[in-house]
Amino acid sequence: MAERVKLHYFNGRGKMESIRWLLTAAEVEFDEFHLTSRDQYLKMLEDGDLMFQQVPMVEIDGMKLIQTKAILNYIAEKYNLHGKDIKERVKINMYAEGLMDLMEMIMVLPFTQDVKTKLDNIEKKAKDRYLPVFEEQLKDHVYLVGGRMSVADVLLLECTLMLEEKFAGILKNFGNVKSFQGRMQSQPAISRFLQPGSKRKPQPDDVYVKTVREVFDLKIVL
């Protein structure tokens, strides 16, 4: 039997959360190993587990993978969530990259100053730049690309839920995106992931931020 997938990251969302989402959508069970101390991180470095000294790191199929996008692409390829040909794949990647750009802006907020100004900017960009693209595409498509679920759809669900946490009602004028969200959420594996007690992580809190800073010996504020 194949080894279970192992995720090495903090007990928080960060860059690992999209990987958790994608594994969930692919119905792959995984175990988590949480980084809580600098010593654990130094041990991973010493063991040569982190090619660029960074997490996320995912153990899968006998490999220790790093780089979030590479990991997402591997999982998407393996579980048929990456389109049927290179033309579908490049479209999926375009949507996915846009969504990751937007989520990254939210992800870094707990480590930054002047959060209110940044939030205003994110809300504006979400409404003016990103959501209209998905609203238009979902007008006459059930999924973003190729008529079946891909990594882009999974990231869109994750992203829209993140946006709603920050800006309640942001999908008010994006009815197609809201319907898409409902369709995705009704899939059994995703529905379970959204229940309390699942491996989905909450919004970052002070403990998470403090742990990340300690593990990386991070002194600067972005």
Angle, vertex CA 28, rays to CA 27 and CA 32, nearest 5: 130
Which residue, 56 or 83, has its beta carbon nearer to ligand GSN? 56
Min dist CB 59 to ligand GSN, Å, is 15
Which residue, 118 or 127, has its beta carbon nearer to ligand GSN? 118
Cβ-count burial 16-33 (b if 16+ within 10 Å, e if not): bbbbbbbbbbbebebeee
Min dist CB 175 to ligand GSN, Å, is 33
Q: Which residues bind ligand GSN (CB under 6 A)?
A: 14-15, 53-56, 67-68, 216
Min dist CB 78 to ligand GSN, Å, is 18
Min dist CB 106 to ligand GSN, Å, is 12
Nearest to 158 by CA among 219, 91, 80, 104: 104
Which residue, 79 or 216, has its beta carbon nearer to ligand GSN? 216
Instruction: Say how far apart CA 112 and CA 212 lie, in whole Å.
Output: 13
**Are the C-beta atoms of 108 and 181 separated by less than 8 Å?**
no
Which residue, 162 or 177, has its beta carbon nearer to ligand GSN? 162
Instruction: Give phi and psi for 115, each to the nearest 5.
Output: -65, -35
Which residue, 27 or 104, has its beta carbon nearer to ligand GSN? 104
Alpha helices in the chain (DSSP H): 17-25, 38-46, 68-78, 86-107, 115-125, 131-137, 151-166, 175-185, 188-193, 206-216
Nearest to 26 by CA among 63, 75, 61, 64: 75
Min dist CB 215 to ligand GSN, Å, is 8
Which residue, 68 or 137, has its beta carbon nearer to ligand GSN? 68
Which residue, 41 or 95, has its beta carbon nearer to ligand GSN? 41
Nearest to 130 by CA among 154, 163, 107: 163
Rg (CA), the chain: 18
Q: How many CB atoms lie within 10 A of CB 69?
A: 13
Min dist CB 15 to ligand GSN, Å, is 5
Position with the least CB separation from ligand GSN: 54
Min dist CB 36 to ligand GSN, Å, is 14
